[in-house]
Structure 1
Amino acid sequence: VHRTNFLLGQAYGADFVYDEMMVAGLGDMGKAAAEAIAKMNPLASDKGPKPGEGPSKEERENGHYDILFVGETSGGDRIDAVVTGDKDPGYGSTSKMIAQAALCLVHDVPDAKGGIWTPGAIMGAPLRQRLIDHAGMTFTAG
Structure 2
Amino acid sequence: MTTMIGKVTQERYEQLVADGLEQLAVQGRTQLLLGDLALEIEPISQRGGSHAGPGEEPFGVWQTLAQYAEDLDMPLATLLDNRWVASRWPKERRQHRVPYVVHMALAAIADEDVRFAKILDPPWHEKSKTHRWTQDAAKREVGQRG
Normalising by structure 2, we get a TM-score of: 0.31
More helix by share: 2
More strand by share: 1
